[in-house]
Amino acid sequence: MDAIEWQLAMESKMRSIRKNNTWDLVKLPKNRRALLCRWVFPLKQTTASSSPKYKARIIAKGFQQEYGVDFDEVFSPVVKMTTLGFLLGVVMLEDLELLQLDVKMAFLHGDLDEEIYMEKPQGFASPDREHLICRLRKSLYGLKQAP
């Protein structure tokens, strides 16, 4: 029933990934293994009256990563509530306007320092490149480095 919308969402995600140079297709080195991945399909409803937005994400199965091989440390930057409070106070005192910004794929712009290999997403492997896998250049959802 919604197959066309989900297919379009997958194709849109793959275009974004190619545009962002998220990975290169390479041969898997003999001493390495490729992480598995899967598609996740969230349905986003912004307002009650709008039609739902079909989203597709490729999730790396980061639980397969090994410390010292695929990652060295996990770091997740977060804002302190005191910093947020200070910022809101300055906005109020200076009578400024505060706007919200959502960057599409912002989570996936982080460059990777480690060599991480992942199998190609299901449904997007061309027959002439079946022997190749993805060497990740940028972070993907599910990786230890992602947050």
Asked if residue 144 is part of any domain, the answer here is no
Range of the domain at 90: 3-138
pLDDT in the model for residue 26: 93
Q: Is 21 left (phi over 0), alpha (psi -120 to 50) or beta?
A: left
Asked if residue 36 is part of any domain, the answer here is yes
Residue type for position 38? R
C-alpha Rg value of the chain to the nearest Å: 19
Count of structural domains within the chain? 1
Indicate whether 105 pLDDT > 60: no
Which tens digit of pLDDT belongs to each residue from 54-63? 999 999 887 7
pLDDT in the model for residue 110: 67
Asked if residue 143 is part of any domain, the answer here is no
Region 59-82: what's the mean pLDDT?
A: 69
Asked if residue 79 is part of any domain, the answer here is yes
Tokens (6 digits) for 144: 């230890």
Indicate whether 131 pLDDT > 90: no
pLDDT in the model for residue 74: 58
The model scores a pTM over 0.85: no
